[in-house]
Structure formats: structure tokens, C-alpha cells
Amino acid sequence: MTHPLLPISLAVCLAATSFGPLQAQDLETLSRAVNPGLGRVIVHQDGGLALGSGFVIDALDDDKYLFVTNAHVVEGKARSIEVGFLLPTEQNREALVVLEGTILAISPHQDLALLRLSRSDGGQAEGPKPLPLRATPAVQGAPVAAFGFPGIADRQSPTMERDLFRSSLTSGVVSRTMETPDWGIDRSQFPVQIIQHDASINAGNSGGPLVDMCGAVVGVNTSLMHADAGREIYQAASSAEVLRFLQKEGFAVEPDLSDCSGLSLGGGMLAPVVVGVLVASAFLLGAFGVFVSRKGWPRMLAGKPIIAVSVTGPEGRSRLLQFDRRALSRGITVGRSSRCSVVVSDPKVSARHLELRLENGGLYLCDLNSSNGTLIDGNKLVPGRKERVSSKSVVGFGLSHLRVNRLE
């Protein structure tokens, strides 16, 4: 039976999320949220300087930070890397803070790089603020904003050095999302999930965040393509690629699981009173399977994990992922494609190689007509035929293998 409070709470939530088009004050509020995590990258090379953009994803101990940018911004023979931020001070002003950067990891085929920033200025300005990474994919027509430091803006010589670190902002919508193997600085033909959008970017924007109207990063601006009649298409690696890159390199960053459909930081969208109503409604709905996530917006409660999947790639590094009954009943796909539940960077693995599915209390594996086949305990599977697996099974595919373990 439906609880009497449920329709009321749902009606309040639906009424509160009907908003008008993006307004200037919305972008102003968005910029105040994003800019403290946005940095300009300066790479000192023997032949001069390379410039780009990037953003902080995590704050570590001892005034150190994790920072994401494009691989093509920092790759090559860099003598040193600096990242400059304009940050607020206790006096309600702003100060230029420059941090030293060290490359921790690079993915040439995703065109992504992770830096560790170290601060030693001892100033009174606050530290950079991490920007959340959106877990859910961007959808066509969703409003987005691009932040960064396009070099074309420097043609107007600033009177103060700090103005070189003042960001530029453009806005637009998501044109489409797609997978393409034609990506990265090595053109390795690995499929990468990208976002095409119409928020203008230029050289110098590389590595900067593409954000939704809640201030979460949905992509990393990477390139532009020139089309006919002077038109340009702007492209970003999706936040899903960033999360996969970080996971593969062993850096756990909790993604933002909240829903930004119609919600945002600024006036013209969510007034403070409406925010209170939404949060209160979410708590009312908590008794019926909905809860308020760590970031503050409602999302469906995930089930208890019942299966752990350990995947070891060709480089010998293992990952452990856990899945609940609902996900396993729908099917867990494994392959090179970024749309798979488990992504494996293995050139011998197909885009969609195999599937694990829970049926009638048993866990079954099916080879999805892969190019190089799948083995269970050394026995090759017939493509398309389901075979039961247990915690003792070793599943080989490509240059990788996986094991499963029940958690209940």
C-alpha cells in the first residue's frame, strides 16, 4: 500500500524542480563554486613554455592536492611544472598562489594526466577546493559550462600578473556523447567516451573542466574540430573516463552520485527555500527506499553487494569490484568499451567480451562472441552459451583473468 506522505513528497519534489532557462546570475554562482578548484598549468620546457588548464579532485595532507589535466599539456621533456590559482583570503580579497606539480600518472590513449601539487608559500589564502566528478553520463541537451585559460585571451596584455590566472567561462549544451577510438596522443584505438558540446574552447583550455549546472565535472576539455563554414566542434573526455583512469592508477576518488536534472547552485533555479523543501522531502522518502547522498541530493539506495569480482590486467595489477543483486540480475559486462560495467585495458580483449549474470541463484558467464575467446579453468567456452562459475573458477580472457567471490 502506498504511504499517504509519498505522493505529497513526490509532488513537492516535481514542482520544485521546474525551472527556467540559464540566467547570468546562475553562471555567476557557478563560477564562484568552480574557480577555487581551477588552476592554470605552466610547463617549463627547454624550448619555452606550454600552457593549459586543470582542476583539483582531492585535498591530501600537508598542503598537497591531486590535480587532473590533459596528458598532451604535460607530456614531453618538462623541466618543471607550476599551477597557479586565484584564491580567496581571510580579508575577503584574492591572492595568486602557485603550486609545484609532479606527474603521478599519464594515460596517452585517454589523454589524461594526474599531478600531485605541493604548496610551500605559507600564505594566508585558502587552499584550492576539490571539484566533484559526476558519476552519471552527460545527456544530450543538458546545459554545461567550460572553464579554463584560453591563450587567445592573453592577447590583451593584463596590467597585473594575477589577471593571467583569471579564468574564462563559456556556456552551452551537450550536443552528444559517443565512443571513439580516434582519441589520445598515441592513437592506440582504445575506445574512449567523449562529450561533444558547443561551449567555446580554444588552445589553453586543454585539461579544464566541463561542468554541469550543479558544479560537478562531467568532462575534461581536450580538443576542437574545425568544420565547414568556420564552425567548430568542441570535445571533452567524459568524467567516466577520468574515474576509470584514476581507478586503474590506484587513486580512489568518490564520485558524485547526485542527480543534477534541473538542479543547480544559482538563482533562477534553486532558491534556498526550495533546497530546504527538497532535502526535507528526500528525508520523508527515506522510509520508502530513497536517501540523501553525501553530496546532499536524493538518489536511490543501492543494494547490499553480494558478489566481489577481482580482475587482473595484463600489467599484473588487480582491481576488486563489488556488485549487488540488482546489478547482477541485469548482467555485468566486461570488456574494453567504456560502456562496460568492468573496463579492462587489454588489447586482446574485445569491446564487449563477456557477461556475468545471476540466474536462479547461480552465477553464469557467457562469452559475447569475443575475438579471442574466454576460458574457464583452461576450458574454452562456446560463444553465446552460459556456463556456471564458482569462487574456485579462474576465468581467462585476452591477457587478463578474473575471479568471483560470494559476499553472503
Residues serving a catalytic function are 72, 111, 206
How far out from the chain centre does Cα 256 lie?
Answer: 9
Evaluate whether 346 touches 400 at the Cβ level (below 8 Å).
Answer: yes
Evaluate whether 389 touches 365 at the Cβ level (below 8 Å).
Answer: yes
Rounded Cα distance between 221 and 239, Å, is 10
Evaluate whether 297 touches 259 at the Cβ level (below 8 Å).
Answer: yes
The number of C-alpha atoms within 13 Å of 78 and in the hemisphere containing its C-beta is: 20
Residue 58's Cβ-count burial label (10 Å; 0-12, 13-18, 19+) is: middle
Please name the amino acid found at residue 47. Answer: G
Phi, psi of 135 (to 5 degrees): -85, -35
- Over its C-alpha atoms, the chain yields an Rg (Å, rounded) of 23
| H/E element, 145 | strand 143-148
- What cell numbers appear for 137 in the block? 553520463
Rounded Cα distance between 281 and 6, Å, is 9
Evaluate whether 297 touches 289 at the Cβ level (below 8 Å).
Answer: no
Q: Which of 76, 245, 111 is nearest to 184 (CA)?
A: 111
| H/E element, 286 | none
Task: Label residue 158 left, alpha or beta by phi (over 0 means left) and psi (-120 to 50 means alpha).
Answer: beta
